[in-house]
Chains A and B, each alone.
Chain A
Amino acid sequence: MGETSVWELEGRNQEREDFKIVGTEGHPGRQSWDMASGAAKFPTDLHREGTLVAMALRCPFGRARVKVKDVSKAEALEGVRLVVTHEDEEISEMPRMVPSWFEFGRSPLLSDEAEFEGDECGVVVVAISEEVCKDALSLVEVEWEVLPFILDARDAAKPGAPILRPEMNPDSNLTGNTFGAPITWELGNVEEGFKEADHIEVIEYGRQMWSQFRPMPPAYFAYWDDDPWGNPDGNKIGYVTNHAHFPSNGPIVSAYLGAGTDMDKYRALSPYMAARYCDFVEKRGAQFAPVLSKRLGGVPIRYIQSRRESFDAAVPQSFFTVRIGFKKDGTLCAVQSKNIHQVGARGGYGDKTHGHLVLPANAQGFKSTSCPNIHSEMGYYVTNGACTTADPGKDHWEPVNLAFAKIADTLDMPISDVIMKNVKVTAPSLEACMAAGKQAFGWDEKWHLPGKRTLADGRLHGIACRSCWSMTWGMISYNINLRMREGKVYMPYQESLIGTYWPDAAQMVIAEETGMKLEDVVVYYAGHYPNWNQGDAADRGSTCTWAAKEAAIDLKRKICEVGCTYLGAEADEVDIIDSMLVLKADPSVQMPIGATGQIATGFCGKPLVPFQNDVIRTMNVDFCEVAVDTETGLVEILDYCSAHDFGKIIRPSSGLGQLENALTMASGRALREELVWDEGTGVLLNGNMYDYKVPTALDQPEILTVPVETRCGGGAYGSTGVAHAHCDGGLVGLAIQNAIGEFIPMLPYTPDKVLEALGKISQGR
Chain B
Amino acid sequence: MASNVSRRDFLKGGGLAGITIAGVASLGVGSVLGTEEACAATATMTEFVYTCPVCGQHTSDYDALVKHFDGTHPGAAVPQAVALTINGTTFMAQVEPQWTLRETLLYAVGLTGNAKQMCDRGACGSCSVLIDGVPALSCSVLAVECEGRQIETSEGIAADPAYRPLFESYVKHDASQCGYCTPGHLTVAKYILTKYGDPSADQIRAELAGNICRCGTYSRHVAAIQEAAASLKGGN
Contacts and interface: CB of A to CB of B under 8 A. Distances in A.
Contacts of B173: 653
Contacts of B112: 38, 41-42, 44-45
Given A44-B117, A239-B18, A688-B123, A51 B2 contact: yes
A202 interface: no
Interface in B191-232: 204-206, 208-222
Contacts of A307: 117-120
A46 B21 contact: yes
Contacts of A764: none
Interface stretch (A329-337, A631-639, A689-697): A689-697
Q: Size range of the interface on B?
A: 35 or more
A267 B17 CA distance: 9
A187 to B, nearest CB: 38
A135 to B, nearest CB: 12
A697 B205 contact: yes
Interface stretch (B60-68, B75-83, B141-149, B175-183): B175-183
B126 interface: yes
B208 A657 contact: no
A689 B123 contact: yes
B1 A275 contact: no
A36 B177 contact: no
A37 B33 contact: yes
A42 B112 CA distance: 9
Interface string A33-68: 111111111101111111111000000000000000
B171 interface: yes
A689 B3 CA distance: 31
Interface of B: 1-3, 5, 7, 15-23, 29-30, 33-34, 37-40, 51, 106-107, 111-121, 123-124, 126, 153-155, 157-158, 167, 170-183, 186, 204-206, 208-222
Contact of A37 (B167, B205, B221): B167
B118 A689 contact: yes
A40 B112 CA distance: 8
A228 B181 CA distance: 32
In the complex, which of the residues A50, A215, A225 has the most CB atoms of chain B within 10 Å of its own CB atom?
A215
B210 to A, nearest CB: 8
Chain B at the A interface: SS class: loop
A129 B5 CA distance: 11
Contact of A49 (B7, B118, B222): B7
A215 B126 contact: yes
Contacts of B183: 35-38
A691 to B, nearest CB: 10
B180 A42 contact: yes
B175 A36 contact: yes
Contacts of A150: none
B5 A689 contact: no
A440 to B, nearest CB: 16
Given A28-B34, A270-B16, A307-B118, A661 B216 contact: yes
A657 B19 contact: no
B217 A519 contact: no
A273 B205 CA distance: 26
A113 to B, nearest CB: 27
A188 B29 CA distance: 65
Nearest to B204: A697
A256 interface: no
The 10 closest A-B pairs by CB, nearest first: A38-B113, A664-B216, A35-B179, A499-B177, A33-B34, A37-B158, A499-B178, A275-B178, A45-B112, A38-B183
A528 B15 CA distance: 10
